[in-house]
Amino acid sequence: MAQNPRTSDTEATPTAGRNSGLTRRNYVRSLAAVATAATAIGGAGTAAAAQDDYEVIEAEGQTITIDAGETWENKLIDMTTGQDIIVTAHSSDWTIRNVGFKGENTSGSGTATFGISDTGNGTSTVENVYLGDGASTGNTNPNGHGQTAFWVAPDHNGHIDFENVNIQNFSDNAIYGSAPGNKGGGTIHIDSSFAANCYVSHFRLGTEGSKVTNSSVYVDASEGYVGRGIWAWAPGTVEVEGCQIQMNGQNNAIVAGANGNPTEVTVAETEYDEQAGISEEAGSSVQLGDSVGTDPEAVIPEGVPTSPEEAAAGSQN
């Protein structure tokens, strides 16, 4: 059932890391190894099979920490266990790549699946990630929040690139990236990504130099939650370019400002839902530039994974 969006929202911190120390079971699915064995008995096709190597990790309430300079890649997260998993990266120059989550998150924990920041003034990367199976409305978190896909911590002072990310049906923000506007001031660039039917907002940014480009937001009240399309917080300016924001009349396509604090958004080469419209709050300003229209078609951008297995295998890379 579709959920009504919140009328206000503060920079409360989603729970991240409270399940640290629990064990996890995992195993490696290696089609390359299978193909190698087949070759030994006269089989063929090892080169194609090698692309499908990934580790399968069962969600068991654990926290996985990514260190500075580390690349965490080729993981299939099994959410059919009914439990939660948290991935944290609060260091610098880390990479999260080729990760797919299989099954809806029904843990009801109200956490952020990814709690991230670049705290060393470096550049970190999130690419080719599938979170399209969503999260249920169940929530045991006392803050009253549902499940957030990505939460960027206030201490973020570097830069994070999101590319080829697919997030759907999450019961809180898809990418919650506005908190650094209150402290670290780090920037975020969301490019060639897709978010649909999430609660509160889909792409939420707040610092000058942060932007959403070549990405799509889709909302359909019959399919899931109906959060804001793009939500800009202070101080801004937040840039939107080359995007398709198809809201089907739900909520607002672009919202500028929150909690009495104004900001600015610049929009170019973007189509947005005119019925959902634009909301300028607390004296905020949304500047519509060149080639902005009101006939959006929120397609999934080329290269964005459409299944957990595709993401984990990195078949688009």
- Cα 311 from Cα 317, distance rounded (Å): 9
- Taking residues 39-45, report their average pLDDT: 34
Question: What's the total number of domains in the chain?
Answer: 1
pTM of the model: 0.86
Q: Is the pLDDT of residue 148 over 80?
A: yes
| Eight-class DSSP state of 49 | H
Q: Is residue 154 part of a domain?
A: yes
The amino acid at residue 269 is E
Q: Is residue 3 part of a domain?
A: no
The encoded tokens of residue 109 equal: 């924990």
Q: Is residue 124 part of a domain?
A: yes
CA 213-219-222 angle, 5° bins: 165
Residue 5 is predicted with a pLDDT of 32
Q: Is residue 15 part of a domain?
A: no
Higher pLDDT, 258 or 17: 258
CB 157 within 8 A of CB 129: no
Q: Note down the domain range covering 209.
A: 26-313
The encoded tokens of residue 66 equal: 């990514």
Q: Is residue 21 part of a domain?
A: no
Dihedral of CA atoms 25, 31, 37, 40 in degrees, nearest 10, equals -160
Render the burial of 286-302: b for 16+ CB within 10 Å, e for the rest: bebeeebeeebebebbe
Residue 41 is predicted with a pLDDT of 31
Q: Is residue 9 part of a domain?
A: no
- Cα 116 from Cα 16, distance rounded (Å): 10
Residue 22 is predicted with a pLDDT of 27
- Cα 164 from Cα 49, distance rounded (Å): 23
Q: Is the pLDDT of residue 102 over 80?
A: yes
Q: Is residue 16 part of a domain?
A: no
Phi, psi at residue 3, to the nearest 5°?
-110, 140
Ranges assigned E (strand) in 179-284: 187-191, 194-196, 201-207, 211-213, 216-218, 228-236, 238-241, 244-246, 254-256, 264-268, 271-272, 278-280
CATH classification at residue 66: 2.160.20
CB atoms within 10 A of CB 42: 6
Mean pLDDT of the chain, nearest integer: 85
Percent of the chain exceeding pLDDT 70 equals 80
Q: Is residue 17 part of a domain?
A: no
